[in-house]
Amino acid sequence: MATDNKLTPAEIERWQDRWRLALKNPWIFLTYFSSSWDEHERSHLALAKPFPQSSVFRFLCRCWDELEVIFIEKSRQIMMTWFFADMFLYDVLTLVARRNMYQSKKQEDANNVLDRSRHIYQCLVKDFGEIIDIPKIRVFGDRFGTISQMEIEKTRCYLVAIPQGPDIVRSYTTTGIFSDESEFQPKFSESYTAAMPSFGNGHFVAISSVNGYSAAWHILYGVQEGQRRPTAPNLLDSRNVTKVPYTAPSRLSEEDQRHWIEQKLLSLSEEEYKSIPLEVLAAMMPGVEYWRTEDETDSIRLHYSSDPKKDPVTKEGSAWVTRQKKRMKSQRRWNREMEMRRDQPEGGPVIENWQYDTFVPKKAVPVEQSKPIIVMVDFGSNVAFAGFAQYLQLTIGEKLVHFFQTRILDEIHLEHSNTYVLGDKITRKMRERFPAQFRQHNFKVWCDPAGNATSQTTSDKSRNTDIKILRSKGLSCYSRKFGVTESTDHTRAIFATFHEDGTPAVQVDSRCHYLISCLEGGWHYPKDSENDGKPEKDGIFEHGGDAIRILMASTVKPNDIIMPPSYQVRRRLVRTFGGRVIGSKKEVIHT
């Protein structure tokens, strides 16, 4: 609404009544008094675009009213930065003695968030300054320079933009902090620790798209540092809600059901809406999950489908998804940015040609009872991994052909355990899953050569090495040092090998969930660095990658790698595995 058109006294009174309600209800403020700008809009309306009426925004307004520490994991392009720039502005407009901080990785990024609050305030003054009493705000600092600040001198309220890190947070008693893209702040953990003792009677809000298993992720999911699973059940969890008060009529189409529930949540009175628990509200909304961790952190997951205009079940949403996928030009990037896949980091995947349907058969991978089992083991203080495989020469058609296949049959994936437990689990798996090979002792354990060093995973502080501990369990363990770059390239070449009929040189059983996550992109090269051929040491997926690299280097000879006609192959001598020339390597270029 703009006040350029003359309003009648009745209209002025109506807006003043709305303003009085907005001072007590953030949903009213967002609905009637908030604007954003839209970089995708071409008309002049882009400079003062009202917030869309969405059940997600109403849900978040209630979260703002009731919760203090909020962590949000989100897809891109769902206006979360705009929303919280509006809420923290609302906080200083309606209360007194507030010091709210906007924190980002860089000062310029934090200034950009503050600039959004300034834009909302400027639109508010332009549209309603003549008819309602709006506190006067002064702005200090350069948008692209040093620390920027918005101040209401009369009520001693401040909005301050700061870079990442704990120093400035420690210097002030803060009322609230908005941490934007928290998973991309290397110093987020220190900032969060510094903020907790000083902040109170306000909000700590951290939002971010996904970035691996960061410090913010551990808080979001209530996971101890170094682990990947919560240590205790969540106190509240919308994912466990089975009964909701409102469901769309089943006679409606899927798209109409989506619109029905959206309109129902928007049409509820304040009394009705606040009578529904937050976890139940979240369970009613597509693309929204809410839970509370053991340490009283309220966590929210927002998928792009939470917006009906982006939900693929609607015609408009389906068109949006198709358009955005074309713009991203990468399924991997789409999975990371929009589907919030943490096993798709920004660095390039080691196995570039991985396709689930190609390497993972629909039926269980068969076990050859007369052939030995190869156990591949990688040790780690956070993650320990053991995979079970067979290396076979296949008979394809009616005659024996020179084609070898590695079949990965099963896995053991442990977190924060020890080598004694790993050894017991390997023995049990062999006895129960591969009884023929276990009885005949027809198996060999290939270990990470680092296991010959003093154990890092034993809980009894013994001087036994990891490999000695496995041998004490009756396991025949072998190890050999391989060049990381060369053995990784060797593994990539094996995954690029196919028989003429399309049979891959590697098959992975569908039960190997962790290993599949590694191969889908969790095992990756570092981002923005000169690629020396060494995958990223991330403490999570590196163990599965190292294990399969050890398996391939230990069992598959270079001459066993035969490329299909669809690949152009160049051979060159490779010095690897301790500097010895082991044969020729096939450099693979798909033609």
Cα–chain-centroid distance for residue 95? 35
What's the confidence (pLDDT) of residue 572?
36
pLDDT digits (tens, 9 = 90+) for 280-335: 999 999 999 999 998 889 999 999 999 999 999 999 999 999 999 998 888 888 98
- Give CA–CA dist 506/504, Å, rounded: 5
307 and 365 in a single domain? The answer is no
**Residue after which a domain boundary falls, among 260, 286, 315:** 315
Domain-embedded: residue 326: no
290 and 204 in a single domain? The answer is yes
- Report the candidate in 397, 583, 407 with the shortest Cα–Cα distance to residue 505: 407
What's the confidence (pLDDT) of residue 380?
80
Number of domains in the chain: 2
400 and 300 in a single domain? The answer is no
18 and 152 in a single domain? The answer is yes
State the CATH number of the domain containing residue 497: 3.30.420.280
- 235, 295 contact by CB (below 8 A): no
Beta bridge partners of 285: none
384 and 532 in a single domain? The answer is yes
> What is the domain range of residue 206?
9-315
Residue ranges of the chain with per-residue pLDDT less than 50: 3, 458-459, 563-591
**Residue after which a domain boundary falls, among 260, 283, 315:** 315
What's the confidence (pLDDT) of residue 532?
66
What's the confidence (pLDDT) of residue 145?
52
SS3 474: coil
What's the confidence (pLDDT) of residue 575?
36
498 and 449 in a single domain? The answer is yes
250 and 385 in a single domain? The answer is no
Domain-embedded: residue 165: yes
- Give CA–CA dist 181/105, Å, rounded: 8
Domain-embedded: residue 348: no
Q: What is the pLDDT of the chain when averaged over all its residues?
A: 86
pLDDT digits (tens, 9 = 90+) for 209-232: 998 888 899 999 998 776 667 777
Number of H helices, E strands in the chain: 20, 20
- In our burial notation (b when 16+ CB lie closer than 10 A, e otherwise), range 43-76 reads eeeeebbebeebbbbbbbbbbbeebbbbbbbbbe
474 and 560 in a single domain? The answer is yes
Domain-embedded: residue 345: no
268 and 373 in a single domain? The answer is no
State the CATH number of the domain containing residue 293: 3.40.50.300
Query: For residue 384, what are the CA distances in angstroms to 224, 510, 585?
Result: 17, 20, 30
What's the confidence (pLDDT) of residue 453?
79
85 and 206 in a single domain? The answer is yes
209 and 294 in a single domain? The answer is yes
What's the confidence (pLDDT) of residue 172?
82
Domain-embedded: residue 64: yes
This prediction's pTM: 0.76
Domain-embedded: residue 236: yes
Percentage with pLDDT > 70 across the chain:
86
pLDDT digits (tens, 9 = 90+) for 29-56: 999 999 987 765 555 555 678 888 999 9
Domain-embedded: residue 350: no
Beta strands in 342-423 (DSSP E): 373-378, 383-396, 399-415
126 and 257 in a single domain? The answer is yes
Q: Which residues contact 16 (CB under 8 A, 6 or more apart)?
A: 131, 132
Beta strands in 448-566 (DSSP E): 477-478, 506-508
What's the confidence (pLDDT) of residue 330?
80
Domain-embedded: residue 150: yes
